[in-house]
Each structure stands twice: as structure tokens, then as C-alpha cells.
Amino acid sequence: MNVRPTVAFTVPSLLRLAAVASLAVIPLGACDCTEITVRVAPQIYVDVCAKPVKTVDNKVIGGFQECALPFGEADLSVKVAKTVVITNPSNLELKLESVELEGDPSFDFVEPPPDRIGPGLSAQVAVQIRPRVESAIEAELVIISDANNTPKNEDDKSEIRIPITLTGVDRGVPDIEVVPVGCGTTAPLGIDFGNVSTSGLQVCNVEVRNVGTRELYFDFLDFVPDANGERIITEPGDSGPVPSISLTGAIPDPETPLRPTSDEHAPLTLRVAFAPDALGRYGDTLRIVSSDPDEDVVEVPIQGIGVTGPQCVARIKSVNDVEIEGAAAVEPLDDVVLTTIESTGATPEVGIASTRWELRERGPGSGVVLSSPSTAETGFLFANRRGVDVAGRYEACAVVTDELGTESVNECCVKFDAIPSDAFLVQLTWAEPTGDMDLHVTKKSDAGEYCLQGLGSPARGVQAPYDSSCATGLDCYYGNCKPSSFGGAPEWDDVTGRTDGDPSLDIDDLTGFGPENTNVNQVVAGSYAFGADFFSGSGAHTMFIRLFIYGQLKGEWVATIEDEFWEVGIVHFRADNLFQPCIEDLTDGDPSDQCPDD
């Protein structure tokens, strides 16, 4: 039996105090009075109830009868919400013993309803729905409380029932389509990672498309336990959760829609990562709950096996067809061959089935590619030639796959530096795959001239200290400086014939990128100017010149040139100190500020 607090008053003027909860007993003096009883209890009014009308401070707060919460018409798959305001106008706290939705389960609360409303306060209850059928949908919002101003139910509780109605209308709907891409699949839909090395990582993509006519929203997108209530790993058994299968990258929130997939709107790509940390079989389920009215829940089964993987071993096999054991000295233009032939499978019985190479680093301005990136042995190619093209650091890394389909996960890279052994080397590259750029390195004559030969146009862009009108034969360029040149190399060391003191142009690149290298094995005293000629091509080209002295990079210049000669610098080798030449930068417009005595 419910007992409500009562207060006895004998003075009529004290009736206004009946709502004060702390007034439990009022002592009475000796008087001949009539005793009256007033019940003190909380009250409830709801703004969507029409009767009886209750007004507080000139504001209608509703009633508790003839209630209705009509949503009207709503588009299929589009979430809509309405708010009900519950007010407690009394001076006692109102206890909401239950606030529930009965009827169609499509209706739900935006947030959990409150369980108490303080004296003189109001609370909101928000009801939402995403209609999925083109028909009338009905439910009731049932509020049971300890209010004392409403009719009671059979349990002697205050009960208010609010009918909720909505009509779903089809004005276009989303349509979800989930497709694993770039990985193994299992029927009817799923991802099979196969064998993955422990401590390794494999990533597969799941593409989510919206092939409907309206935006698609995601209510839930995450992994869920299997039918036994856990994410599973077997062999060996482990009943705990296994976070080895996870989503990586951007995951949409419930407020971010997926627009209908088209040329303008791409599908959503989910990246599923598998990183086993123990041997065994893994399983999980990716669950997608969306606003698709026909297929609101899509589950993608995922499985994989953690295994012991193969070990990748990579090294330099040969340089210029000479077999290498251990470290190797490499120069620009050397033919370098790499190998993974010493890699091993997880067991002696399991061999290596394939190799995948990746070129991670190459010298500045290099245009090399790997000659055979999917075999155990690979080399380097540039301009249809074998070898590394420019000086600098090179790094190639490999992944091997054994006969069971497992990839290696250990670091498996080969690093080496291509270092010129020449005393003096000038290198030209350019950023475009077309055009004929020519490197010129010319020695200062006894008459003080820096003569240039074989320019695309003799007077084009040539300024002091260069001279394109003289011909001393000291300019090393495509016409006289290649090893096969008909005129022989320029005589820079005053020794007849091609000697270590004379320059050599290794390549005359006519089709793009370069490099062109002019090198001298043993330099003699003198001054040597260098630059590049825009011999032919369409539009401006970005050129790079690098200067190496005794294998060390001593200068690097870049410029965008079109139809002219690019003056870059002069190296002054003094007879008393050949190992520390002075380098004059001509790109600053002053031919003697760095080396005023030369």
C-alpha cells in the first residue's frame, strides 16, 4: 500500500504552506479548531496533452489527457525526431518510474529519458525514427510516475499514454552495396587474409557504395563478436578479445552521409588491417548498420591465419658483372645487380615463390627504375641503359613470398652510395622527359678565354667570361668529348692523347632527364668554367647542375631555362693546392666575388 505524506492544519491561513515538503508537523496550541488534511505530492503535465490545460506564469505547460505526438509524413530512410516536454509545477521532486515506447520498434529515444524532474522544472524527451516502410507507423510513449494529479493505473501509479503516428513516404531511398576489393574473398561476402606472418601487417579494402537515390547514413560501423560472444583465435586457444583485426583510416560518423556513388561522388573505402600477434586462426565480423531501408544490416566475415613467415635477405650481387662479397664501391653509371637468392622459407621444406622490389631512394635528379622488380634479381635502368645514373644514396627494399603464400615482414633493404672516384665531375640533369640539354665544361686558355663550341645558337645568352666566337678546342661538349668522339678529347693536361688529365663526357642525352657527366680522373692546375646549353626543346626546362670534387658534392644549382645558355660557375684549381679549389658562382652575376684573385 502506497502511503503519501499528509500534514494537518487547523489555521486556514496556513493552507498556502501545504506544498512545502519540509513542513511535516505543525504544533497546535490549545484551541477549539476543526482539523483538515491536505495531500502534498508532485504533479506532471505534458506539452503534447490537450486537457486539462495548466498555465504557469502565463505559459501553457500542457495537460495529461487527450495526448498526441503526430510526426506526419516522413521520407523513407531519413531520420526525424520530435520532443516532448514534461513539466513538474509542484514544489516536490517528480519521480519518473518508467518512460517507455510501446509498439513499432522503429521508434527510439535520442537520449535516455530522465528519471527525475526537480520542483518547478521541465525535462525533454526526444523521440526519433527512421521510417523504412511506406505505410502508417504507430507507437505509444508511456510515462509512469509518482505524480498525484492524474488518473491512476491498476498499480495505483500515474500513467500517461501518448499515441505516436507517422506515415512513411517513398521519395527515393539509399541502397548500400559492400564489396571487398584487392583481397581474397569468401562466399557469400567477406575477406580472407590467408597466411600472414606474426608481427606482420596486411591491409585489405572494403568498398561501400551507395547505389540508391538518397544519402546513406551509418548508425554503426565496427567489429562485433562472433556467435559465441567473442572475437576468436584458435591454435592455440585464446578466449580473450583479439584486437588483431581492425579498421584504419577515416571512419564516417553518424552525421556524415555517403552520397549516391557517381562520377562526382566516390564510394567509401574502409581499410581493414590484419596484424596477428600469435600463431593461430583469427576471425571477426565487420557489421555495418545503415539507413538502407531494405538492407539496414550488412555483415562482412573476416578471417586470417597467423603463421611463422619467411626471412628475406637482400644484398648486392654484382657491380659491372663482377661478383661481390660484402661491401661494394659503386660509382655513377655502374651496373649494380641486387638479389634475394639467400632468403629462406618458414621451414626448410618451404621455398620462396616470388619477390617484390621497391626503390625507396635514389640520388638527387636520378631517373633510374628497377629493371626487374618482380624477380629475385634486379638491376637499375635509365634512358634504356643499365646502371645507376647519378651520384648519391640508393636504397631498394624487397618482400619475399613463400610457397604457402606468406610474405616476409623483416626489414630487407640494400643501401649504397654511388660516389664518383674522379677528381673533378660536373653533372647535368633536367626535370622533363623531352628536350636536348647539353653540358659544357671549358678550360681557360692561355689567352684568358673560356671558349664555347657547338651551341644551338652561338650568340644566345652567352656573356662574359664565356666567348662563343672563339675556338680553342678546350670546351668539352657532345661534339668532341665522348669516348667515341671523332676529334678526340680536349687537351687539358698538355699530354698528347686521351689521358687521365683530359675530360670525358660519358653520355650525350638527347631525349630527356639526363644525366650528362663530364669527369676528369686527375686534374691539372687551371680554371674550368661550366654551364648548360638549351640546344633544342619545347618550352622552358628546369635544369640541375651538381659539382663534385674528389667525390664530394661541392655545389648544386637549379634554374628554369628556355632557349639560352645557362652560365653556372668556374672551378679554379691552383698549382700549390689542387685539393682545395676555389669555386666561383656565376649565377649571382659577379664573376669574381667568390674568387677575387683568379
| Cα 300 to Cα 186: distance, rounded to the nearest angstrom | 10
Query: Is the same domain home to 321 and 370?
Result: yes
Domain boundary pick from 169, 190, 214: 169
Query: Is the same domain home to 383 and 434?
Result: no
What band does 226 get if pLDDT is binned at 50, 70 and 90? Answer: low
The verdict on residue 578 lying in a domain is yes
What band does 485 get if pLDDT is binned at 50, 70 and 90? Answer: low
Cβ–Cβ under 8 Å, residues 477 and 468: no
Domain boundary pick from 307, 333, 353: 307
Cis peptide before 260 (omega within 30 of 0): no
What total number of domains does the chain contain? 5
The verdict on residue 597 lying in a domain is no
Q: Write down the residue that cell numbers 622527359 correspond to.
A: 433
C-alpha separations of 274 from 201, 240, 246, 346, 441 in Å: 6, 17, 7, 19, 56
pTM: 0.60
Query: Is the same domain home to 199 and 140?
Result: no
Q: Write down the residue that cell numbers 500515474 correspond to.
A: 158
Distance from chain centroid for Cα 195: 25
Q: Give the percent of the chain with pLDDT over 90.
A: 58
What residue type is assigned to position 65 of the chain?
Answer: Q
DSSP-assigned beta bridge partners for residue 543: 430, 559
**520, three cell numbers:** 676528369
C-alpha separations of 311 from 347, 375, 378, 396, 547 in Å: 10, 16, 19, 17, 41
Question: Which candidate, 421, 394, 431, 393, places its Cα nearest to that of 515?
Answer: 431
Query: Is the same domain home to 202 and 300?
Result: yes
Query: Is the same domain home to 122 and 258?
Result: no
The verdict on residue 393 lying in a domain is yes
What band does 474 get if pLDDT is binned at 50, 70 and 90? Answer: very high
Domain boundary pick from 307, 325, 355: 307
Cβ–Cβ under 8 Å, residues 68 and 162: yes
Cβ–Cβ under 8 Å, residues 193 and 280: no
Query: Is the same domain home to 562 and 414?
Result: no
pLDDT in tens, 494-537: 888 888 899 999 888 777 788 899 999 999 999 999 999 999 88
Domain CATH number, residue 365? 2.60.40.10
The verdict on residue 598 lying in a domain is no
**φ, ψ dihedrals at 14, nearest 5°:** -90, 0
The verdict on residue 247 lying in a domain is yes
The verdict on residue 224 lying in a domain is yes
Query: Is the same domain home to 516 and 574?
Result: yes
pLDDT in tens, 363-412: 888 889 999 999 999 999 987 889 998 889 999 999 999 998 899 999 99
Query: Is the same domain home to 54 and 141?
Result: yes
The verdict on residue 301 lying in a domain is yes
The verdict on residue 591 lying in a domain is no
| Cα 349 to Cα 328: distance, rounded to the nearest angstrom | 33
What DSSP letter does each residue of 522-538 carry, written as one string?
Answer: S--SEEEEEEEEEEE-S
Query: Is the same domain home to 357 and 299?
Result: no
Query: Is the same domain home to 326 and 303?
Result: no
Burial of residue 586 (number of CB atoms within 10 Å: 0-12, 13-18, 19+): buried
Q: How many CA atoms lie within 13 A of 331 on its CB side?
A: 13
**586, three cell numbers:** 656565376
What DSSP letter does each residue of 55-91 carry, written as one string?
Answer: EETTEEEEBSEEE-EEEEEEETT--EEEEEEEE--SS
Domain CATH number, residue 441? 2.60.60
Query: Is the same domain home to 455 and 510?
Result: yes
Q: Which domain does 552 fall in, by range?
A: 424-585
Query: Is the same domain home to 251 and 399?
Result: no
Question: Which candidate, 308, 323, 326, places its Cα nearest to that of 414?
Answer: 326
